[in-house]
């Protein structure tokens, strides 16, 4: 069993019930491979943590920006709690080292791991809430999530990537980007797409996703980084 004391130091929280933390880090695949494991997987914690995270972020944004519209606040919140941001935060917290995964999942460091990390972060929030209560959870989210708010606003990361990439491309090089599906595979119920974003005939970046729309967003997001426009 993994020693989670270093992780507790990393998040500045000492759990009263260490099993809550362990379960928050336990993926369904680990249970499938180790059916005798004494705890369950983290999906119920994820369900709870998602709601707690959204409430605390909403509360903070509502208090911080009394003059912003509902639409603007919603955009700020979406940028703070989307899977990309949460997986990045999970990486900052070194959660990869502590996840309980099947041997197969442990080897996969691609897009699927990002979703596992984002979900595990939400599960962690749920576990902190159960173990420590609302105020401690709010302090953790302030440190781990809301600390990224200034960057999101200054870099306009609250705008969807396609809109932001188009604005930057038109302003900087006078070209409207276009998107093309480069590869796709899988049955209808489990399709996977790789999309390229182009400036005229130049392939700037690629993106992957379970739909063309999500793959386009990923391509635009990668394009912003490739061009240094964020």
Please tell me which residue in 46, 50, 168, 218 is annotated as part of the active site. 50
43: which residues sit within 8 A by CB, 6+ positions away? 28, 119, 123
Average pLDDT value for residue range 139-149: 97
What local confidence, expressed as pLDDT, does residue 1 receive?
59
Phi, psi of 77 (to 5 degrees): -65, -45
Please tell me which residue in 46, 122, 168, 217 is annotated as part of the active site. 122
Average pLDDT value for residue range 201-224: 91
Residue with tokens 């909403």: 58
Q: What's the mean pLDDT when you consider all of the chain?
A: 92
The verdict on whether 190 is a catalytic residue reads no
Which pair of tokens denotes residue 72?
A: 């603007």
Which pair of tokens denotes residue 58?
A: 């909403």
List pLDDT tens digits, range 92-112.
999 999 999 988 887 776 667
Q: Are 13 and 26 in contact, with CB atoms under 8 Å apart? A: no
Q: Choose from 47-56, 107-116, 154-163 the range with maximum mean pLDDT.
A: 47-56
Whole-angstrom distance, CA of residue 158 vs CA of residue 80: 8
Q: How many helices (H) and strands (E) does the chain have?
A: 12, 3
What local confidence, expressed as pLDDT, does residue 113 receive?
82
Which pair of tokens denotes residue 162?
A: 């396609």
List pLDDT tens digits, range 19-37.
999 999 999 999 999 999 9
Q: Are 141 and 51 in contact, with CB atoms under 8 Å apart? A: no
Average pLDDT value for residue range 68-88: 91
What local confidence, expressed as pLDDT, does residue 111 receive?
67
What local confidence, expressed as pLDDT, does residue 229 receive?
83
The verdict on whether 122 is a catalytic residue reads yes
How far lies 79's CA from each of 74, 84, 86, 157, in Å?
A: 9, 9, 10, 7
What local confidence, expressed as pLDDT, does residue 107 receive?
76
What local confidence, expressed as pLDDT, does residue 117 receive?
94
Q: Mind listing the domains of the chain with CATH numbers?
A: 5-154 (1.10.1520.10), 161-227 (3.30.160.20)
**Angle value at C-alpha 148, between 53 and 12, nearest 5 degrees:** 65
Is this structure's pTM higher than 0.85? no
Q: Are 100 and 2 in contact, with CB atoms under 8 Å apart? A: yes
Q: Are 137 and 125 in contact, with CB atoms under 8 Å apart? A: yes
Q: Are 155 and 96 in contact, with CB atoms under 8 Å apart? A: no
Q: Are 77 and 61 in contact, with CB atoms under 8 Å apart? A: yes
Q: Are 41 and 26 in contact, with CB atoms under 8 Å apart? A: yes
Question: Residue 156 — pLDDT band, cuts 50, 70, 90?
Answer: confident
Start-end of H helices in 133-229: 134-144, 149-154, 161-173, 212-227
């Amino acid at each position: 069993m993994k020693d989670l004391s270093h992780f507790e130091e990393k998040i500045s929280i000492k759990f009263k019930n260490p099993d809550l933390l362990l379960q928050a880090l336990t993926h369904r695949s680990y249970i499938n491979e180790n059916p005798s494991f004494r705890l369950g997987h983290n999906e119920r914690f994820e369900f709870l943590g998602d709601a707690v995270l959204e409430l605390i972020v909403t509360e903070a944004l509502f208090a911080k920006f009394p003059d912003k519209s509902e639409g603007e606040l919603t955009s700020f919140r979406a940028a703070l709690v989307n899977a990309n941001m949460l997986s990045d935060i999970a990486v900052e917290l070194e959660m990869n080292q502590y996840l309980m995964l099947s041997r197969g999942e442990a080897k996969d460091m691609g897009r699927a791991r990002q979703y596992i990390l984002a979900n595990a972060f939400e599960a962690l929030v749920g576990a902190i809430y159960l173990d420590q209560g609302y105020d401690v959870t709010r302090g953790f989210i302030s440190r781990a999530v809301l600390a990224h708010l200034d960057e999101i606003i200054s870099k306009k990361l609250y705008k969807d990537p396609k809109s932001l990439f188009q604005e930057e491309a038109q302003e900087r090089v006078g070209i409207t980007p276009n998107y093309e599906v480069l590869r796709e595979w899988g049955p209808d119920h489990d399709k996977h797409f790789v999309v390229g974003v182009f400036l005229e005939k130049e392939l700037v970046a690629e993106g992957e996703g379970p739909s063309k729309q999500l793959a386009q967003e990923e391509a635009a997001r990668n394009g912003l980084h490739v061009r240094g426009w964020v």
